[in-house]
């Protein structure tokens, strides 16, 4: 049973994909409703901006407290609409509260005016300022894999910047977003966070009214979003698909590598943009590593109280099935799992050995609980195969040699590399999170850059010294004054004889 049972023009009924039980309903917001909500948010935004970082911090920390106080309820809602296990679902509320604290606490520092130094003595008579003004309305479109945490990554920095935000969650899992916005409303915060629920048409309507658009989802949909934003000439950020590689070197701690890769590949049933989706192991330790990985994955339990939960949709489960079936038909060996369990949308955690790089399980995004493993001759072959992908979101490197790990990290064509770890960068807002190649455009988080992205930068110049009635280059035009200006500019920017308007001796 897919999370959304059927399409209705006015109402979305959400089902638990693990059990088929009805989890709840939300309305389908049409273009007129989206336009009205956008207008209300834009009307409230100037007062929100005027509060400044310190005033906004008070409301954001109150929101954080509401989320922590309602964490158990939020977890229950997450489980009801996604079929996640309790351990997977329980992380989302707390991780979101951590992000809110980070952006609320650091916004004043990150948004402070900058005063660049003059690049030349000619301009030292001027005072330069870079100021940051938020986009009035930020649109955020989030996917179904982390219905509470994904808004938690993108909405808090936009609010901290002083923007109003209209959130459009996936139609597959909209109930958690209802809770996300409900918390903001219940604390009595200014009305600058809104919710628009619906299908693709609702998202399109949001793009029509946003001043900045942040999208997380598939690469195919991301292309359509980019086109729609380009037509309106609005800026956007895209975090898209991934096919993240893990490289296990022969000097690695194989026990830690197997444990870390099992978690990095199976967390949230593999439905993570930065999941480990393909593994390259140096030949001397291939057999030992594969045995350890298969034992770890084969011992995992599924269900509400297990290690992992169900797939969010039947369609996603079927993609996983196809990748495994095509791999085994081409000669791959199943060492653990390999099939749907027959209950809901569960798919057994799977390890595939003797895999070929051309197999769909290695070339296409799976977004499910599979770990295909390839034997490589050395680190150079591992890096070559890891980079041979249209995706470039993140990667992991497993080695006992710190310098070797750092060196390999810089050879990988991805936006993030975790050495002897997995997924950790996602939880660190001081680090940029974004994809190379077809994995995205722009970055979320990354310290000051993560909040400045939601702002328009404004350059302000002002005199440092008492002003005259006219400047050297102002009208009426004068060859003499122009000559003086050019000579001064040459003197401070050129080198050698060119500083004085002379040609080099050998010319």
Annotated catalytic residues are 239, 273
Task: Output DSSP code: residue 191.
Answer: S
Cα–Cα dist 226/210, whole Å: 13
**Token pair 């995992």: residue:** 300
Q: How many CA atoms lie within 13 A of 360 on its CB side?
A: 14
389 DSSP 8-state letter? S
Strands 244-248, 276-282: parallel, antiparallel or unpaired by DSSP?
parallel
Burial class (CB in 10 A: 0-12, 13-18, 19+), 470: exposed
Start-end of H helices in 454-494: 479-493
Q: What is the dihedral angle through the alpha carbons of 268, 348, 373, 280, rounded to the nearest 10 degrees?
A: 10
d(CA 487, CA 343): 81
CB 154, CB 7: distance < 8 Å: no
Report residue 288 as tokens: 């030992």
CA separation, residue 61 to residues 52, 156, 193, 208, 223 (Å): 14, 11, 15, 31, 35
In this structure, what DSSP letter does residue 427 have?
A: G
Cβ(261)–Cβ(422) below 8 Å: yes
């Amino acid at each position: 049973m897919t999370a959304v049972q059927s399409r209705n023009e006015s109402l979305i009924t959400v089902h638990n994909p693990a059990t088929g039980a009805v989890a709840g309903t939300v309305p389908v917001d049409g273009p007129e409703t989206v336009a009205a909500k956008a207008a209300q948010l834009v009307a409230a935004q100037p007062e929100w901006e005027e509060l400044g970082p310190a005033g906004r911090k008070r409301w954001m920390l109150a929101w954080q407290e509401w989320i922590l106080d309602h964490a158990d309820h939020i977890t229950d809602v997450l489980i009801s609409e996604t079929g996640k296990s309790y351990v997977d679902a329980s992380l989302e509320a707390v991780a979101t509260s951590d992000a809110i604290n980070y952006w609320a606490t650091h916004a004043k520092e990150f948004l402070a005016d900058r005063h660049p130094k003059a690049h030349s003595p000619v301009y030292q008579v001027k005072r330069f300022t870079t100021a940051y003004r938020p986009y009035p309305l930020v649109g955020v479109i989030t996917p179904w894999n982390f219905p509470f945490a994904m808004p938690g990554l993108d909405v808090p920095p936009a609010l901290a910047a002083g923007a109003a935000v209209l959130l459009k969650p996936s139609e597959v899992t909209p109930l958690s977003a209802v809770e996300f916005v409900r918390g903001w409303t219940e604390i009595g915060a200014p009305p600058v966070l809104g919710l628009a629920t619906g299908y693709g048409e609702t998202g399109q309507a949001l793009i029509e009214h946003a001043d900045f658009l942040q999208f997380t989802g598939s690469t195919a949909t991301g292309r359509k979003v980019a086109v729609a934003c380009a037509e309106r000439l609005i800026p956007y950020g895209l975090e898209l698909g991934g096919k993240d590689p893990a490289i296990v070197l022969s000097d690695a701690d194989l026990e830690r590598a197997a444990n870390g890769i099992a978690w990095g590949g199976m967390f949230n049933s593999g439905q993570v943009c930065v999941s480990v989706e393909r593994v390259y192991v140096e030949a001397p330790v291939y057999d030992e590593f594969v045995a350890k990985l298969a034992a770890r994955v084969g011992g995992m339990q599924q269900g509400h109280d297990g290690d992992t939960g169900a797939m969010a949709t039947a369609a996603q489960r079927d993609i996983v099935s196809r990748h495994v079936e095509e791999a085994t038909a081409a000669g791959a060996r199943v060492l653990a799992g390999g099939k749907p369990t027959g209950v809901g949308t569960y798919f057994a955690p799977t390890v595939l050995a003797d895999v070929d790089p051309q197999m769909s399980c290695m070339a296409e995004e799976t977004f499910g609980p599979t770990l295909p493993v390839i034997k490589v001759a050395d680190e150079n072959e591992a890096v070559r195969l890891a980079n041979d992908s249209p995706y470039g979101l993140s990667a992991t490197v497993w080695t006992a040699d710190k310098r070797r790990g750092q060196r390999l990290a810089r050879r990988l064509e991805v936006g993030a590399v975790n050495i002897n770890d997995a997924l950790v960068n996602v939880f660190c807002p001081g680090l940029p999170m974004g994809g190379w190649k077809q994995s995205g455009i722009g970055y979320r988080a990354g310290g000051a850059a993560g909040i400045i992205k939601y702002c328009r930068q404004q350059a302000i110049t002002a005199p440092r010294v008492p002003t005259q009635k006219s400047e050297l280059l102002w009208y009426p035009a004068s060859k003499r004054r122009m000559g003086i200006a050019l000579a001064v500019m040459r003197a401070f920017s050129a080198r050698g004889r060119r500083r004085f308007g002379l040609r080099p001796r050998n010319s």
